Structure 1
Amino acid sequence: MKARLLRIRGRVQGVGYRDWMVREAGAAGLSGWVRNRADGTVEALLAGEEDAVGSVLLAARRGPRGAYVEGIEESFAEPPDGPGFQRRPTL
């Protein structure tokens, strides 16, 4: 299992990015979470098969309609405790 922690910068709040990420990650069979951060970024933990994580990471660089992704910081992470992909409250 591969797990990545993402910090997504750009116009990514107020455009449905988190709901879009929940759909994309769920369709790919990933577990993890996504949340807004007070600094205007979106943070996400993606965990699952390497190809599925790579596919959602590639899609995250485009984001949903209305978003503009300036960049993504990516780091290795520990997989989440449970299954499923969820939207978390803002941190």
Structure 2
Amino acid sequence: MSAHRMIVTGKVQGVGYRNWAVGRARVFGVTGYVRNSGKAVEVVVSGDDDAVEKMIEAMREGPATARVDHVEVHAANDAKLKGFTKRLGA
């Protein structure tokens, strides 16, 4: 089990990134949340190590409508989250 917090920058707001992230999380079976944070998108993800790594890689690509410039990844302590939700901005 691992948990990570990501800050995704680029053209990631107003392009369906959060909805796309929710779909990817369901595919990979991870928990956490996604929300707008300033000019970036914050993603917190928790789950099986392999699934979390797949989610991190997916966040680096983003949906076709986005342009991901950078993904900053940090270890997190959010391992007890339930489901994967889209939250309101910070």
Q: Name the TM-score, length of structure 1 as normaliser.
A: 0.94
Encode CA deviations 1:34-84: one digit per residue, 9 max, x unaligned: 0001x2100010100011011111111110011000001110001243321
Q: Which amino acid aligns with 1:34?
A: V
RMSD: 0.9
Q: Which residue pairs with 2:24 in the alignment?
A: 24
Q: Which amino acid aligns with 2:84?
A: F
Distance 1:62 1:2 in 2: 21
3-state secondary structure, aligned to 2:14 = coil
Distance 1:81 1:3 in 2: 9
Q: Which residue pairs with 1:4 in the alignment?
A: 4
Unmatched runs of 5 consecutive residues or more in structure 1 = none
Write the mapping of 1:10-89 to structure 2, written as runs, cut at 5 A.
10-37=10-37, 39-89=38-88
Unmatched runs of 5 consecutive residues or more in structure 2 = none
The answer on whether the counterparts of 2:5 and 2:73 sit within 8 Å (CA) in structure 1 is: yes
Distance 2:30 2:76 in 1: 14
Runs of 4+ off more than 6 Å? none
